[in-house]
Structure 1
Amino acid sequence: MLKLSGIRVAYGQRIIFDNADFLVRPGDKIALVGPNGAGKSTLFRIIAGEESIDAGTISSDPGTVIGYFSQDVGEMSGRTALEEVLAGAGDVYEIGKKLSELEHRMGDPDAEPLSDSDMDAYGELQSAFLHRDGYNLETRAESVLTGLGIGPDRFGEPVEHFSGGWKMRIALARILVLEPDLLLMDEPTNHLDVESIVWLESWLRDFKGDLVMTSHDRDFLTRLCPRTAEVASGAITMYSGDYDFYLREREIRREQLVATYNRQQAQFAKDEEFIAKFAARASHAALVQSRIKALEKIERVSLPPDPKTMSVQFVSCPRSGDQVVVMKDLAKSWPKPGAAKNGEQSFHSVFSGLSGIVNRGDRIALTGVNGAGKSTLLKTICGETEPTGGSAVVGASVKLGYFSQYSSDTLRPDRTIYEEVEERIPLATVGAIRGILGAFLFSGDDADKRISSLSGGEKSRVMLACMLAVPVNFLVLDEPTNHLDIASREVLLDALTRFEGTLMIVSHDRYFLRHLANRVFEIDHGRLNAYEGNYQYYLDKTGREY
């Protein structure tokens, strides 16, 4: 159990928590929600002991082991992927190392024999190792790495060889192998594909400890966490239900708060009118003073500000022809890394023989396991890369807009947000450009921020603003929800459902796909399977878990 009572945290004049309470009970799985900057990550750091509080108390059961996964993985070097994960097991890993040293001495005839105290220490270490399931530690580490998409062929690879996204998976594996009593997870689904998310969901469902977690994946939160804690306006408010329950209950509570606020304001107006009317009359002096004192004692109800959300409106565009894309025997291969043998370059086939038609009005979810070629297919359709066989012909009057998960790399760091959007629509007025930016939460001076100073989520919003500022009738989206919080994802989802053109999307957000797609294209072992139904129909037909 963990309990925070009356905590206060402030950075200068900015108050993060003011007399806030938070309780984690045995067996709890809690979704931590709230607007960006409200203090969710600060709460994690406080619980993990990485940040102090200005006032209040923190208490937990003696010996509680806390594991904290954050987006800051720190430096990783000098170990293989498997060694890095094993090292995350903490005491168990260290005990295992000590046992190995003692066993090496026991088996080495040239080494100094173990003393009685050494043997006693060995017995105690072995008992502790057994108690913590240390002999299965390496098996658990290998299982977790595999579940997160890092197979046996990469266990021995130095961590320096992994990209930032794959290092995040290694850091996540470290925390899972630790199997702490209390697991804190800040956006664990970032950088994971659908297969890894499904595996992690299953692992966390079976996890015996307590869990407090943030995630931008609504399905992930709802399936795992039967309780919800909202961090907002300096307080932590508990809801005895999942994320869907929280949304309904929050609206009910806000309506009740508004009603209470309005009643109080009406009473204040009456009292103030009475005071103003009779303040000058000596016969009413005692009564007036009584009203003034009563007003001063009343705890005033305040309304928290409405959270900012994007407001996406697509620019109208002429309708396209009936056939938006026609694929016929489409194939793509990439050169294998390394020098060509005997003067001939070897190639890796991503897919071949893909045939299918994208019709006007389709909302196609493109699925397939990690590495199946989803992003490559989108690039081929958009002309970002040439096919090595077959064709992908874009139809008449098609105006294409392409968003990739790496689109933000095309932004120029020295430019402002305003300048990036202005370049796409040079004939637009200043007011029109600022209106577009305001819809993506860049209002006032925010529009003059340099690209180099933006977070990943802000860059994604800039790229969406750049793309949607130009009239298009065929949207090709590769992971458009990366770095967007739940509120922004749902605004984008609402806009896409109202989009009158054609859509093709890759996303690991299952909620997004379930509420958007009316067809599914699956790349399976280099072939294209078309499912003439929505995402749930596809899951039912294929028996997929996600």
Structure 2
Amino acid sequence: MASLTLRNVGVVAHIPLFQNLNLVIGEGDRLGLVAANGAGKTTLLKCLAGLAEPTGGDIVRSRGLRVALVEQDVPANLLDLAFHDVLHRALPADEREGHEWRVDMVLDEFETPADLRNLPMRALSGGWQRLALIARAWITQPDLLLLDEPTNHLDLEKLFKLEAWINAAGYTAPIVVASHDRDFLDACTTRTLFLRPEESISFAHPYRRARELLDAHDAAAQTQREKTLREVKRLRQSASALRNVGINSGSDAAQIKSAQIKRRADALEQNARAVHKERPGEIRLANRGTHARVLVALENVTVQTPDGRKLFAVPKLDVAQGDRIAVLGRNGAGKSQLVRLLHEAMNRPEGLPGIRVTPSLALGYVDQDMQQLPERSTAHDFILSRFRLGDQRSRAVLAEAGFSIERQGLPIAKLSPGQKARLGLLALRLTEPNFYLMDEPTNHVDIPGREQLESEILDAEATCIVVSHDRSFVKTIGTRFLLIDKGRVREIDGPETFYESVVG
């Protein structure tokens, strides 16, 4: 049986990413890899694939183990190749001739439309590029498949397609998935590894059940830590009292005993490690407030493509204070075009025909590609110039959001997608809006960041219109649900019916 074993594996990059990791990955495993952005998921996957070496420990692979890693970005040398050729060239050189059928079989397995099969990779959507990379790895028939953020750029239809493919994959070779999509992890994994700098923890359950067990583990660890620290305090008080007795009475035995007790207290305190916390201390959302009951009203509004083709009409829609509207629809239905139209109307003092915006509206806007960020500016200069907090305060809020001094001075264009997302959400928080217009705000955001955004929206009683493929996010924050379907928009009771129609 093909397997891979980790023995006391660790990686240090300025600080430990993870250490003393012991794990066996074998037949039939579907392992979810969970950690915050920058915490080592991609690094660990590269170590498993043999593309990087750990700082410490050993990775033992069974003889002849074939590992395929699907990274987040398309390699530059594949961008001008046709989808079909990308798969064909992934075959061993001596198997390419006469094995075109294998390429067609995998393309069929991924339900690839005929008109996409001969398009160059750079002409494909981000979602199809992801599926192409997964298909390219799959055609090599690996013994271990590693997927790094496979749901990035996938619309719901392709996301469900990927879930179905993983669950129906006709072989028992293990799959390791690094992802921030909680529903995807629940649907596709049977084990979960929480990667941490001090002590990584795994459970033989999908994400949500594993998360419950992790929270219980952390609560027990915190209780034990508090108990230990109380004992440390008691021992030190005893040591101090004995020391005073020894000094006052001239008793060497009392002072020796005092020193022994103090050494025990020091040892206990050293072993009472702090419980792991995900990125504490970030700036939180605020709500500027408004007395207006209806913040935005639409009547007889037509939503069009950039070239003027009609997508759908909105006969009437009032967005009242406290409404959290999730806009649903298949890819290409016009969700992002609606957001862009509303964004334009909210940035014009006179609005747009058919769209009325209350004068007290303070807009917080997030674009799915974070295009609102000035790519040539540094993170520090952007926050300093946009919000005029002063140099030191700007550096402090960036540090609280997880940006080191070095990263604060990098051009935004050089930040990772996760870092850009974090910067965009920081700017959203500092704007202190009373209306949030968000197109895929959780793209590239890790699970702690998604959960924090959800709780902040609820705590701030925010008014918002949001487009998102993150099913957990939609179900958590949504109070109203608009479905765009077949050129019409209508309000529905909840997102489940739409999700079921996409799967079907």
TM-score, normalised with respect to structure 1: 0.78
Match of 2:363 in 1: 400
Match of 1:215 in 2: 179
Q: Distance in 1 between matches of 2:126 and 2:159?
A: 18
Q: Distance in 1 between matches of 2:502 and 2:130?
A: 26
- Once the 2 structures are TM-superposed, how far is the Cα of residue 217 of structure 1 from its aligned partner? 0.8
Deviation string, structure 1 residues 29-70 (Cα, Å, up to 9, x no partner)? 111112333322222111111112344333333333222111
Alignment equivalent of 1:330, drawn from 292, 302, 307 = 302
Q: Distance in 2 between matches of 1:464 and 1:257?
A: 32
Match of 2:430 in 1: 469
Q: For the structure 1 residues 297 and 162, does the alpha-carbon distance in structure 2 shift closer, same or farther, using more than 3 Å as the test? A: same
8 A contact 1:38–1:234 mirrored in 2: no
Deviation string, structure 1 residues 127-148 (Cα, Å, up to 9, x no partner)? xx7xxxx8444122244262xx
- Once the 2 structures are TM-superposed, how far is the Cα of residue 363 of structure 1 from its aligned partner? 1.6
8 A contact 1:521–1:529 mirrored in 2: yes
8 A contact 1:22–1:236 mirrored in 2: no
Q: Does 1:140 align with 2:140?
A: no
Q: Does 1:185 align with 2:147?
A: yes
- Once the 2 structures are TM-superposed, how far is the Cα of residue 453 of structure 1 from its aligned partner? 4.0
Amino acid corresponding to residue 296 of structure 2 in structure 1? V
Matches within 5 A, 1:282-361: 282-283=252-253, 300-309=271-280, 310-322=282-294, 324-335=296-307, 349-360=309-320, 361=322
Q: Distance in 2 between matches of 1:262 and 1:476?
A: 43
Q: For the structure 1 residues 181 and 327, does the alpha-carbon distance in structure 2 shift closer, same or farther, using more than 3 Å as the test? A: farther
* Secondary structure of residue in 2 paired with 1:325: strand
Alignment equivalent of 1:260, drawn from 224, 236, 243 = 224
Q: For the structure 1 residues 59 and 525, does the alpha-carbon distance in structure 2 shift closer, same or farther, using more than 3 Å as the test? A: same
* Secondary structure of residue in 1 paired with 2:187: helix
Q: Distance in 2 between matches of 1:282 and 1:54?
A: 48
- Once the 2 structures are TM-superposed, how far is the Cα of residue 20 of structure 1 from its aligned partner? 2.0
Q: For the structure 1 residues 519 and 445, does the alpha-carbon distance in structure 2 shift closer, same or farther, using more than 3 Å as the test? A: same
Q: For the structure 1 residues 289 and 460, does the alpha-carbon distance in structure 2 shift closer, same or farther, using more than 3 Å as the test? A: closer
Deviation string, structure 1 residues 178-223 (Cα, Å, up to 9, x no partner)? 3422211111011111111111011111223212111111111122
Q: Distance in 1 between matches of 2:67 and 2:111?
A: 21
Q: Distance in 2 between matches of 1:192 and 1:405?
A: 12
8 A contact 1:520–1:534 mirrored in 2: yes
* Secondary structure of residue in 1 paired with 2:192: strand
8 A contact 1:315–1:470 mirrored in 2: no
8 A contact 1:144–1:176 mirrored in 2: no
Q: Does 1:24 align with 2:30?
A: no
More off after superposition, 320-329 vs 77-86: 320-329
Q: Distance in 1 between matches of 2:226 and 2:503?
A: 48
Q: Distance in 2 between matches of 1:500 and 1:282?
A: 66
Q: For the structure 1 residues 486 and 220, does the alpha-carbon distance in structure 2 shift closer, same or farther, using more than 3 Å as the test? A: same
Match of 2:494 in 1: 534
8 A contact 1:434–1:443 mirrored in 2: no
Q: Does 1:154 align with 2:116?
A: yes
Q: Distance in 2 between matches of 1:467 and 1:269?
A: 44
- Once the 2 structures are TM-superposed, how far is the Cα of residue 21 of structure 1 from its aligned partner? 0.5
Q: Which runs of 5+ in 1 are unaligned?
A: 101-128, 336-346
Q: For the structure 1 residues 444 and 284, does the alpha-carbon distance in structure 2 shift closer, same or farther, using more than 3 Å as the test? A: same
Q: For the structure 1 residues 225 and 317, does the alpha-carbon distance in structure 2 shift closer, same or farther, using more than 3 Å as the test? A: same
Deviation string, structure 1 residues 162-183 (Cα, Å, up to 9, x no partner)? 4766544422331233342221
Match of 1:125 in 2: none
- Once the 2 structures are TM-superposed, how far is the Cα of residue 304 of structure 1 from its aligned partner? 4.2
Amino acid corresponding to residue 225 of structure 1 in structure 2? T
* Secondary structure of residue in 2 paired with 1:57: strand
Q: Distance in 1 between matches of 2:141 and 2:319?
A: 49
Deviation string, structure 1 residues 225-258 (Cα, Å, up to 9, x no partner)? 2221111124432112222222222222223223
* Secondary structure of residue in 2 paired with 1:43: helix
* Secondary structure of residue in 2 paired with 1:508: coil
Q: Distance in 1 between matches of 2:265 and 2:290?
A: 61
* Secondary structure of residue in 1 paired with 2:273: coil
Q: For the structure 1 residues 168 and 271, does the alpha-carbon distance in structure 2 shift closer, same or farther, using more than 3 Å as the test? A: same
- Once the 2 structures are TM-superposed, how far is the Cα of residue 9 of structure 1 from its aligned partner? 3.4
Amino acid corresponding to residue 419 of structure 1 in structure 2? D
- Once the 2 structures are TM-superposed, how far is the Cα of residue 329 of structure 1 from its aligned partner? 4.9
Q: Does 1:415 align with 2:377?
A: yes
Number of aligned residue pairs: give it: 485
Kindly, what percent of the aligned residue pairs are identical? 25
Q: Distance in 1 between matches of 2:284 and 2:146?
A: 33
Match of 1:119 in 2: none
Q: Distance in 2 between matches of 1:241 and 1:143?
A: 28
Q: For the structure 1 residues 438 and 498, does the alpha-carbon distance in structure 2 shift closer, same or farther, using more than 3 Å as the test? A: farther
Q: For the structure 1 residues 441 and 528, does the alpha-carbon distance in structure 2 shift closer, same or farther, using more than 3 Å as the test? A: same
Q: Distance in 1 between matches of 2:52 and 2:377?
A: 35
* Secondary structure of residue in 1 paired with 2:214: helix
Q: For the structure 1 residues 41 and 315, does the alpha-carbon distance in structure 2 shift closer, same or farther, using more than 3 Å as the test? A: same
Q: For the structure 1 residues 443 and 283, does the alpha-carbon distance in structure 2 shift closer, same or farther, using more than 3 Å as the test? A: closer
Deviation string, structure 1 residues 294-349 (Cα, Å, up to 9, x no partner)? 789878242244221444222322133436221315141443xxxxxxxxxxx6x2
Match of 1:230 in 2: 194
Matches within 5 A, 1:78-227: 79-88=81-90, 90-91=91-92, 94-98=93-97, 100=98, 135-144=101-110, 146=112, 151-162=113-124, 167-207=129-169, 208=171, 209-227=173-191
8 A contact 1:313–1:495 mirrored in 2: yes
Match of 2:51 in 1: 50
Match of 1:36 in 2: 37
Q: For the structure 1 residues 138 and 411, does the alpha-carbon distance in structure 2 shift closer, same or farther, using more than 3 Å as the test? A: same
Q: Distance in 1 between matches of 2:371 and 2:435?
A: 22
Q: Distance in 2 between matches of 1:289 and 1:234?
A: 30
